[in-house]
Amino acid sequence: MKPAGYYGLPVVKPPVWTWEIPVYFFVGGLAGMAEAIALAAFSTGAELELVRKAAWVAAAGAGVSPILLVMDLGRPARFANMLRVFKWRSAMSVGAWTLAVFGACAVPAALLLQWGEGRALHAVAALLLFGAGVLGPLLATYTGVLLAATAIPVWSAHRTLLPIHFGAAALGSAAAVLELLGSRPPALSAVGIATAIVETMIGAALEIGRASVVDRPLRTGRSGNLMRAAAVLTGPLSLALRLVGARTGGGAAFLFGALLSRFAWIDAGRCSALDPEATFASQAPP
Amino acid sequence: MIGDGIASANQRTHRFVEERTPVGFFTDPTLCIGCKACEVACKEWNGLPEDGFVFSGTSYDNTGALGASTWRHVLFLEQDQSRGPQLAGPMSGGEGEDPFRWIFLSDVCKHCEHAGCLEACPTGAIVRTEVGSVLVQDDVCNGCGYCVVSCPFGVVDRRPQPLPGAGGAFKCTFCYDRQASGLPPACAKVCPTESIQFGPLDEITARAARRVEDVRALGYADASLYDARGTSVGATRAVFLVLGSPEAYGLPADPVVPTVYLRDAWTSSLLTSLVALAGVIAAFALL
């Protein structure tokens, strides 16, 4: 068979991003959703110990994330140019600002929750916690938008699914980390079960039916294998472990799967970009 | 209008930048002889490093694609006999081999009206110039790589180590430096057959439309204009005549600027955020 297009050569360019980006998707998402948990626990009057722990997880993630992002830049010394302008129509610009503001709220919030004394400082802590807690879920889901709004066929094809997928993975990861750190309120268990159910459904949705040309990297090759392994870990396996009462095992499986899943999506994007048939299918008249 | 000699906009000095006149390229493969003078002139003028001497083994084209260090790229297509006149003989001299039609096309950045790279750039390094071209400001670019995945034509790329300028995103500048000094772009200047034509955008598009008609009248029924008009890309300032389907040239039939996906994706992101936050609060309130 004659190769598609121009001697079968790729039409669009594959992502140049290296391991730092999928790890950032995992860490940043986890931090964002941990802050949402901190805010929920704080506003419903849960024990302060859990609020502090969640706020520290968020602050740590907010500290590690920019380091990962700067490491991936082609010219790391110019990292500050990320905040040179604000562009609504660039998901990366919106994301960079979201991360910056999130970090500026989450780090002092954690410090004040731990060591702040007096009513004034508590009010400031609550305010910062509110800001970071509301931005947190956006930080966890904008990464789906970041991938969706590109010329990479398999990413743009799943533009509605990706933010849900990344959001669920981030929330489940945050709950799992807090559980592994020793906080075991029933609410976290419920969050863990709910996110494992959502991930099971997403995994099934990606498996059902015949794979389109664009979806091939989700089912075949290295990216397909990674995708399936990640789907089993975050979905049915972690759900089953949680249902039999193995919260530690269920949480650990979910965390590992959520990290693997981000690598799988980047890898699938690379395969998708290299496949001219996928690009022609995604950029053709309706 | 082909062959204006020294009167051609390819050779004349101009004041397009001062006068803020939109400019364009029309690249016509029916006049291209595959000499690669445009590729060489582009490399020479812009000081582009070599980007690998790779033997493709599948065609006469070892350059392959546009990239960070290749801003003009001459495609070498071998189309089968049924597509029309201008036939070359079998390459090995064998009796059984089909003759084919040679097509050479000098590909370049399309300088889109709705440019995916420009929209995606988070630093504002990518800008629209006075003449309507899309320019990466190398002194601002921090090499985030988002433009690379945002170009529907796969034009812009990040230059790898250890090449000079490594880490930054590069693509055709439409010879902004030359144009600012009143000179035509290097590729158009050297093109010996005026297969590449440079000039004010309105003149260029009119000329391209006329040329497509002329070529069709000469018996090339599959000639069409590739200018992304009517797509989400809006229109391109580099337009091409193509014989046969654009896909054969590695050009998407209906290019899509990725910003069209933002609405669906952000709706999903905002709803997911809302549900997640409400869900967690409910879990803590109820359990």
d(CA B231, CA B228) in angstroms, rounded, equals: 6
- φ/ψ (deg, to 5) at B114: -110, 90
Q: Which of A214-218, B86-90, B145-149 has the lowest mean pLDDT?
A: B86-90
Residue in A8, A37, A160 nearest the CB of B280: A37
Which of B248, B56, B236, B251 lies closest to A279 in space, CA to CA?
A: B251
Residue-level pLDDT at B1: 43
Give how far A116 is from chain B: nearest CA, Å. Answer: 24
d(CA A236, CA A147) in angstroms, rounded, equals: 26
> Given phi > 0 = left and psi -120 to 50 = alpha, else beta, which region is A14?
beta
Q: Which residue on chain A is closest to B267 by alpha carbon? A: A160
Mean pLDDT throughout B263-268? 98
Q: Which residue has the higher pLDDT, A160 or B95?
A: A160
Residues facing B240 on adjacent strands: B27, B226
Which residues of chain B form beta strands (DSSP E)?
23-27, 72-80, 87-88, 100-108, 126-128, 134-136, 157-158, 169-170, 196-200, 223-226, 238-243
Is the CB of A142 less than 8 angstroms away from the CB of B140? no
Judged by a CB distance cut-off of 8 A, whether residue A191 touches chain B is yes
Mean pLDDT throughout B139-160? 98
Judged by a CB distance cut-off of 8 A, whether residue A273 touches chain B is yes
d(CA A72, CA B167) in angstroms, rounded, equals: 10
- Per DSSP, the three-state class of A231 is helix
Q: What pLDDT band is residue A1 in, cutting at 50, 70 and 90?
A: low
Q: What is the ipTM of this complex?
A: 0.96
- Per DSSP, the three-state class of B134 is strand
Is the CB of A285 less than 8 angstroms away from the CB of B158? no
Q: What pLDDT band is residue B124 in, cutting at 50, 70 and 90?
A: very high
Asked whether residue B2 carries a pLDDT value surpassing 90, the answer given is no
Mean pLDDT throughout A26-32? 98
Per residue in A31-74, pLDDT tens?
999 999 999 999 998 889 999 999 999 999 999 999 999 999 99
**What percentage of chain B exceeds 70 in pLDDT?**
93
Give how far A35 is from chain B: nearest CA, Å. Answer: 10
Q: Considering Cα of A9, then A12, then A17, then A19, what sign does the dihedral take? A: negative
B166, B159 contact by CB (below 8 A): yes
- Residues 142-171 on A with a CB inside 8 Å of B are 142, 144-146, 148-152, 155-156, 159-164, 167-168, 171
Judged by a CB distance cut-off of 8 A, whether residue B124 touches chain A is yes
Does the pTM surpass 0.90? The reply is yes
d(CA A211, CA A122) in angstroms, rounded, equals: 53
Residues facing A251 on adjacent strands: none
Q: What pLDDT band is residue B100 in, cutting at 50, 70 and 90?
A: confident
Which of A265, A148, A96, A85 lies closest to B258 in space, CA to CA?
A: A148
d(CA A133, CA A130) in angstroms, rounded, equals: 5
Interface test with A, best of B77, B264, B268 (most A CBs within 10 A): B268
B223, B242 contact by CB (below 8 A): yes
Is the CB of A90 less than 8 angstroms away from the CB of B120? yes
d(CA A163, CA B94) in angstroms, rounded, equals: 57
> Given phi > 0 = left and psi -120 to 50 = alpha, else beta, which region is B125?
alpha
- Per DSSP, the three-state class of B241 is strand
- Residues 201-260 on A with a CB inside 8 Å of B are none
Residue-level pLDDT at A39: 97
d(CA B251, CA A78) in angstroms, rounded, equals: 34
Per residue in B188-213, pLDDT tens?
999 999 999 999 999 999 999 999 99
Q: What pLDDT band is residue A2 in, cutting at 50, 70 and 90?
A: confident
Which residues of A12-171 form beta strands (DSSP E)?
none
Asked whether residue A154 carries a pLDDT value surpassing 70, the answer given is yes
A150, B150 contact by CB (below 8 A): yes
Is the CB of B261 less than 8 angstroms away from the CB of A159? yes
Asked whether residue B71 carries a pLDDT value surpassing 80, the answer given is yes
Q: Which residue on chain B is closest to A285 by alpha carbon? A: B254
Sort A186 into a burial class: Cβ within 10 Å, 0-12 / 13-18 / 19+: exposed
Neighbours of A155 (CB within 10 A): 28
d(CA B107, CA A270) in angstroms, rounded, equals: 23
Question: In the block, which residue shows the tokens 């020294």?
Answer: B6
Residue-level pLDDT at B237: 97
Per residue in B214-246, pLDDT tens?
999 988 888 999 999 999 999 999 999 999 999
Mean pLDDT throughout A228-236? 97
Which of B7, B4, B24 lies closest to B16 in space, CA to CA?
A: B24
d(CA A162, CA A177) in angstroms, rounded, equals: 22
- Residues 177-196 on B with a CB inside 8 Å of A are none
Q: What pLDDT band is residue A160 in, cutting at 50, 70 and 90?
A: very high
To the nearest whole number, what is the mean pLDDT of chain A? 96
Q: Within 13 Å and on the Cβ side, how many CA atoms surround B104?
A: 18
d(CA A136, CA A247) in angstroms, rounded, equals: 24
Task: List all residues 6 or more positions away from B127 whose beta carbon is below 8 Å from its beta carbon.
Answer: B118, B134, B135, B137
Q: Which residue has the higher pLDDT, A4 or A155?
A: A155
Mean pLDDT throughout A211-227? 94
Whole-angstrom CA distances from A79 to A87, A96, B122 are: 16, 10, 11
Is the CB of A91 less than 8 angstroms away from the CB of B265? yes
Residue-level pLDDT at B52: 83
Per residue in A101-127, pLDDT tens?
999 999 999 999 999 888 899 999 999
Sort B230 into a burial class: Cβ within 10 Å, 0-12 / 13-18 / 19+: exposed
Please report, to the nearest 10 degrees, the dihedral formed by the alpha carbons of residues B73, B171, A13, B162 taken in order. Answer: 100
Residue-level pLDDT at B8: 86
**What percentage of chain A exceeds 90 in pLDDT?**
93
Mean pLDDT throughout B125-134? 98
Q: Which residue on chain A is closest to B285 by alpha carbon? A: A44
Which of B179, B159, B173, B207 lies closest to B51 in space, CA to CA?
A: B159
Interface test with A, best of B74, B269, B270, B277 (most A CBs within 10 A): B269
